[in-house]
Amino acid sequence: MNNDWAFADMTASNDLLEDRDALRARLEDEGYLYFRELIDRERIDALRRDVLEVLVNRGWIKGGELTDHAEAIGMPVREGDEEYFLAYDEVQKLESFHSLAHDESLQSAMKQALGETAFPHPLKVARLVFPTEPEVSTPPHQDFLNNQGTPSLTAAWIPLGDCPMKQGTLAILRGSHRYGVLPLEFSLGPGNRQAVLPNELRDRLTWVTNDFSAGDVLLFGALTVHASLHNVTSRMRLSVDFRYQCEGEEASDLVLKPHYERLSWEDIYASWKSDALKYYWHDLDFPVAPYDRTPFASPDGDEHFKEVFKYEHWRKLRYEGKAPGRGRPD
């Protein structure tokens, strides 16, 4: 995913803000909307500092004067590992993390793109991505099966700080939303599933991405195929995913719970200073349906085990500096 020649530049849509018809037409046509500096940088930096404090305390990055560099130290951990969750649970408790989804400029853009009743799901996702771990980069996938509910679901991907392509930006397969829900296969990356891309998509469509700055926002629909580039720096890549829909449209019960369901909302709210955003969705009107886990059932457990074993082997060799040509970058 990291060959620069394989990507076209994203089209910025800042010039279409306040023109709802034009924004919706571009989202329908290309499957994404990219906005430069939509969110105030100071707000992004404040959340970044909160997350970095968690990572310093867990021993994932260098602290002190080097904290803002997010320089990774120690053995990388994979999303889903218990060590990962020990840090992730603390991030999930951050009031600054959950409140960012309600940022006025972000909400305005989303309402223009979707409708006046657009709101963020209670389930909110943070990504804490170690460098030099290509096997567990986010694979090509769609959000619909992961969230279900309305197919009009729209995600916002927001890097927490400047994020050049080499640090693992998100890439969009432009126009892929027109091909419906794609089949799944196993992946070591987040969610442990990736979309199976038919040759027609590979031949006809173009991947788009670019360097991101703090405050940039990428919106895309539930059927739009997207993936991350590999993080080939020595720093953590930090980002958040928020997903939005309009009132009156169906949501699955999964998206009303904290991500990974390890914590209760009471756990998350325990240290918040304000009550304003607690249980905000209770005042909204939308039908709720049970989440269907059937699409994620898979009989090939042995193959999964083999892939995990190979990954663990390479992770250890890289950490020890014994992987030929694949050591940690300076």
Nearest to 218 by CA among 24, 33, 73: 33
Q: What is the pLDDT of residues 258-282, one digit of tens each?
A: 999 999 999 999 999 999 999 999 9
C-alpha distances out from residue 317 to 60, 73, 182, 238, 322, Å? 18, 15, 35, 24, 5
Indicate if the pLDDT at residue 161 is higher than 60.
yes
Q: Are 188 and 78 in contact (CB under 8 A)?
A: yes
How many CB atoms lie under 10 A from the CB of residue 122? 20
CA angle 159, 38, 286 (to 5 degrees): 85
pLDDT, mean over the chain: 91
User: Do 323 and 314 contact (CB within 8 A), yes or no?
Assistant: yes
Distance CA 127, CA 56 (A): 16
The residue behind tokens 């969705």 is 281
Has residue 246 got a pLDDT over 90? Answer: yes
Do strands 251-252 and 237-245 pair parallel, antiparallel, or not at all (unpaired)? Answer: unpaired
Q: Is the confidence at residue 317, as pLDDT, over 80?
A: no
First to last CA, the chain: 21
For residue 300, pLDDT beyond 80: no
